Chains A and B, each alone.
Chain A
Amino acid sequence: MNDLPEINGKEKAAKPDAAVVVRRQPSMVGRLGRLCLKELREILRDRRTIITLVFMPLLVYPLLNMMFQKFLVTSLQSASQIEIFVGLESEAAADTLAEYLAAGEEILSSQGPVEDLNITMLVVDGLRDRVAEGAIDVGTIIRPRKNERQPRSSRGELRDVLQCELIYRKESQLSATGLRFIEERLDAINDQFVREVMAIPVVRQTLPSLGYRAELPTKVFRTTVRQTGSEFPLTTIVPLILILMTITGAVYPAIDLTAGERERGTMEMLMAAPVPRLGLLIAKYVAVLTVALFTATANLVAMTVTLLASPLGKELFGDDGLSLLLVFQVFSLLILFAAFFSAILLAITSFARSYKEAQAYLIPVMLLALAPGIMSLLPLKFSGILAVTPLVNVVLLSRDIFDSNVDPVLACVAVLSTMLYAVAALAMAARVFGSDAILYGSQQGWSDLWRRPRHWRQASTIAGAMSCLALLFPANFLVSSSLRGFSEASMTVWLALAAVALVVLFIGVPILFAIVQKVRIGPGFQLAPAAILAFVGAILLGISLWPFSHEIFLVQKLIGLSSLGEEQVAAALEQIERLRQVPLIVLLLGLAVTPAVCEEFFFRGYLFSSLRQTMRPWKTIVVSAMLFGGFHVVTTNALSVERFVPSTLMGLVLGWICWKSGSVLPGMLLHTCHNGFLLTVLYYRDELAARGWGVQEESHMPSTWLATAAVVVLVGVVFVTLVTRKSQAEKAEPDRPYNG
């Protein structure tokens, strides 16, 4: 589809007409910015956008608030039908509580009508667990004691102080209602006591000067427990509503800016302008995303205001209500979700030739989008495959945010995978947007997506490489998580399986992509011979960079950038001890050679060569390095933010050596030497320490070591710099650019 025609004639192009002045195009960034502004201006002036952006949030949330309130009031109005179970530790405690509740009820009744609930007291063991399970709604631990400081009763007795701990489930309406019921009555007793004390003249007069402090007859301590039962929390609906509203905001702009352009007849004019097709698509994407974010913001603000202004906020989120931090967290998630869904919408509507066709495509997509939303209502544990399943991961993550129960590893996996999926969706849209078939109504729209190019190419497209990365990230996470269990049984088996998995993922999958995209394996993966100097330089760099990695880790720890907790560090150290039982050669093959070769094959092979087609060398090196660094942040059981900087720096070195040598092979050697050296040092740690050559994790490297390493690095850099062979891709005839 994007390939050039075969040119039959042997004639070269005629010399360009000297009288024709081809205008130098202005800066692309500025032009893209103006393109985005035009798209936004057009879409925001449309009445239909204003309706979804402004009127829907203004109407929906107050209506929902009324509905929910009605639901709650209705469910509570028939109070006689509701039974609140209060658990206590003993019969005596139950009697004591009943006495206090009756006294409080009497006080409240004298002041006005009182809510009447059906309270059943039960004597149970393990109050906290019973509350968490939902077997009882409120657990009460009573600790009565005598109050030495209170005036004695008329009979000279010390008054009692009732201290009770109330255990409840924050997200449960029943539990909160029971808590409120008990607290109101106990508070009434305290209020009555204060009135009585203040009525005594001598107390009223002398209170300020004596500093007399009355101890109230009841004291309540609250304890929340996490729900483990299956009761349906209303907070799970909130992320679903927000997500649906965000989708609603993005749908119309996506249709209007793609299918709408075709219907209006402006697409042809746009394609006839000397602007890259990808630039046009990005401008449209930014416009769709902006409107989606506006919609998300409007909905979030409307929801927050509604919840703050009505009792529903406390009903759903407890006495603290909806906090600003929670709102910020949800908004951040909505940004991510909007970015992802806008890309999906644009990818789908790019196929459509008219509004009607676009709507026909989108209706099933929106119905499909409801399914993950409904999953958030189920008591599903956010883990494993759900963390990388598109849409489901965002919905479940937002649910866990509301529950204040977020696993940082899974959150990071969800965020990164969603970002990669958005990139892949845009890549798909870029393939189709403005293509012959879609522009002119041919019947082959969808098949164009899968059609192989007509000619073989020297490197993958960026879209193809990013799609491959979008697949590799979640697949790597899932496979690594699945294999973790094997490490408990046998480290050797685990190493072997992990190596096979790496080969399949980082070599097999990219090769498959390359075959489908008709990418030549040699230049497409930078598999070319390199100068001996490059290999020598690679070895020198590989064995000398590790002290600097160590220092970077220490600096990060110093400035508080360490994300590994003590538990995780302990687990890592235990893992290292178990690895030392494995023969060194197995260790080196499994953890040095295989990861080095496989990662370089993809990052500096497939990805690097694709980026190099359109980017300058330094940009290619930086982008590939950052993606490499990001890949190393997420491990199966920990979020290792501190690995980003050293991994990215290593990626810069590897990218540089790849560019200089024109081959991925020296980088593989460098990476292998680096990993291998570190592993060997760890393996013989005790022996080295005995000789006084040990490296302490928490202390800086000796300055002589650093200086020596610096010299070796310098020599390595000089060797590589002396390499002058250009990359195979640059020497061979470059792929001809397609139109856009």
Chain B
Amino acid sequence: MIKVHELYKQFDSGGQKVVAVDGLSFSVAKGEVYGLLGPNGAGKTTTLRMIIGLLTPDFGYAEVAGFRTSEDPDKVKSCLGLVSASDGVYPWLSVREMILFFADLYGVPSETAKERLEHLSKVMEIDGILDRRCIYLSTGQRQRVTLVRALIHDPPVMLLDEPTRGLDVIGSKVVFDYIDLLRGQGKAVMVSTHRLDEAQRLCDRFGLLHEGRLLHEGTLSELQSATGCETLVEMFLSFLNNKQSATAGPES
């Protein structure tokens, strides 16, 4: 459902060229939760934005549900639901108004959107705040509202960028349950996060990203076999050490 091929993106930062994503390739199948993991500045969010079409890659391409972002950007966007790192809401609209507005943007018929909203609001426990203006929502409520917003058009592919950022334990659990729900619905899900411990619980396959490059990719057991490490944190550090040693060369 998601296919990324040799994505490359560089930025100009204070006169210097910074390579954010360097020849990235991976894919995500239907019903799979793929974790794109790495520390801050690894290129995760940049990759996500190139998949959506918000950023134009310098080289390479991304495909969603068979539609290439560069050729059919609107069709790609129609197939995607995005939970962004910034949980922005429209302060003067009510929750209902905002979600129905987004449903309209995605071309969901009005009646269908209302029915879906009623159902999702019960699942995500926001049915009591549908008519509250977004400016009066707490952080946790806001997060749940953005999760519902991303699902209102029932996209086959979901992208979640740092979904648990700023959330407490309860809030994070909501996100975990949400991802399980998506998996159960057969959606292709890509989660981008720097919380390796959380990703270990959530995801089926992992791509470990560092300085724009994919260090390694695979299921947890594959990575455990390859590295001899138990946890993703240990694996990641191990890969980094190996990479640094390889870079240092004979001098070390």
Q: Which residues of A contact B (CB under 8 A)?
A: 2-9, 11, 13-17, 19-20, 22-26, 31, 34-35, 38, 41-43, 45-46, 261, 264-276, 436, 439-440, 442-444, 736-737, 739
Residues 72-85 of chain B: 1 if any A CB is under 8 Å from the residue's CB, otherwise 0? 01110111101010
Measured CB to CB, the closest approach of chain B to A193, in angstroms, equals 69
A11 to B68, CA, bound (A): 11
Q: Within the complex, which residue of A6, A20, A23, A273 is in contact with B102, where a contact is CB–CB below 8 Å?
A: A273
Q: Find out whether the CB atom of B91 lies under 8 angstroms from the CB atom of A264.
A: yes
User: Given contacts A7-B70, A34-B104, A269-B82, could you give 11 more A-B pairs where the C-beta distance is less than 8 Å?
Assistant: A9-B5, A13-B63, A14-B3, A14-B66, A16-B75, A26-B104, A264-B86, A272-B53, A272-B77, A273-B102, A739-B56
A23–B56 contact, CB under 8 A? no
A20-B65, A268-B54, A274-B105 given as contacts; is B92 within 8 A of A45 (CB)?
yes
Q: Given A31-B104, A45-B92, A264-B91, are A7 and B61 neighbors across the interface (CB < 8 Å)? A: yes
Of B6-14, B176-184, B228-236, which binds chain A?
B6-14
Residues on B close to A: CB < 8 A?
1, 3, 5-6, 11-14, 49, 52-61, 63, 65-68, 70-71, 73-75, 77-80, 82, 84, 86-93, 97, 101-102, 104-108, 149, 153, 156
Whether A264 touches B156, Cβ cut-off 8 Å, given contacts A14-B63, A273-B77, is no
Q: Which one of B77, B79, B87 contacts A265 once the chains associate, using CB atoms below 8 Å?
A: B87
Closest CB of chain B to A455's CB: distance in Å?
Answer: 12
Collect the chain A residues with CB atoms within 8 Å of residue B3's CB: 14
Indicate which residue in A6, A264, A439 contacts B88 across the interface (CB closer than 8 Å). A264
Report whether B65 and A3 are in contact in the complex, using a CB–CB cutoff of 8 Å.
Answer: no
In the complex, chain B residues whose CB is within 8 Å of the CB of A16: 65-67, 75
Complex CA–CA separation, A46 to B108 (angstroms): 28
CB distance B66 to A13 under 8 Å?
A: yes
Q: Could you tell me if A7 and B89 are in contact, using CB atoms closer than 8 angstroms? A: no
| Contact call A13/B54, Cβ cutoff below 8 A | no
Given the complex of chains A and B, what is the CA–CA distance between A442 and B90 in angstroms?
24
How many contacting A-B pairs (Cβ < 8 A)? 151
Which residues of chain A are within 8 angstroms of B105 by Cβ–Cβ distance?
31, 35, 270, 273-275
Contact between B92 and A41, CB atoms less than 8 A apart: yes
A439 to B92, CA, bound (A): 22
Q: List 15 A-B contacts (CB under 8 A).
A: A5-B57, A9-B6, A13-B63, A17-B1, A41-B92, A42-B90, A264-B86, A265-B84, A268-B88, A273-B102, A274-B74, A436-B54, A440-B55, A443-B14, A736-B70
Contact (Cβ within 8 A) B56 A5:
yes
Question: How many angstroms between the C-alpha atoms of A26 and B109 in the bound complex?
Answer: 9
* Contact among A5, A9, A270, A274 for B58, CB-based, below 8 A: A5
Partner of B60 from the list A8, A41, A270 (CB cut-off 8 Å) is A8
Q: Are A23 and B92 in contact (CB under 8 A)?
A: no
B97 contact set on A, CB distance < 8 A: 38, 41
B143 to chain A, nearest CB (A): 12
Q: Nearest chain B CB to A702's CB is how many angstroms away?
A: 58
Q: Is the CB of A38 within 8 A of B93?
A: yes
Residues of A within 8 A of B82 (CB): 268-269, 272
List of A residues within 8 angstroms of B89 by Cβ: 264, 266
Q: Which residues of chain A come closer than 8 Å to B86, judged between CB atoms? A: 264-265, 268
- B62 shortest CB reach to chain A, Å: 10
Contact B6 A8 (CB under 8 A): yes
A13 smallest CB distance to B (angstroms): 4
**Is B92 a contact partner of A15 (Cβ separation < 8 A)?**
no
Q: How far is the CB of B20 from chain A (nearest CB, A)?
A: 10
Q: A729 to B132: give the CA distance in the assembly, Å.
A: 52
Q: Is the CB of B92 within 8 A of A22?
A: no
Chain A residue numbers with a CB within 8 Å of B75 are 16, 22, 274
Q: Do B66 and A265 have beta carbons less than 8 Å apart?
A: no
Question: How many angstroms from the CA of A4 to the CA of B62 in the assembled complex?
Answer: 12
- Indicate if the CB atoms of B68 and A274 lie closer than 8 Å: no
Top 9 nearest A-B pairs (CB, nearest first) are A265-B88, A265-B86, A16-B66, A266-B88, A45-B92, A13-B68, A274-B77, A273-B105, A274-B74
Contacts of B63 in A (CB 8 A): 13-14
Q: Is the CB of A17 within 8 A of B107?
A: no
Q: CB distance A20 to B107 under 8 Å?
A: no
Q: How far is the CB of B241 from chain A (nearest CB, A)?
A: 32
Knowing A14-B3, A23-B78, A266-B90 touch, does A6 contact B59 (C-beta < 8 A)? yes
A-side contacts of B52, CB under 8 Å: 272
Bound CA–CA A26/B78 (angstroms): 13
State in angstroms the CA–CA spacing of A9 and B86 once bound together.
33
| B90 pairs with A17, CB closer than 8 A | no
* Nearest residue, chain A, Cβ from B75: A22
Task: Tell whether, in the assembled complex, residue A20 and residue B79 are in contact, meaning their CB atoms are under 8 Å apart.
Answer: yes
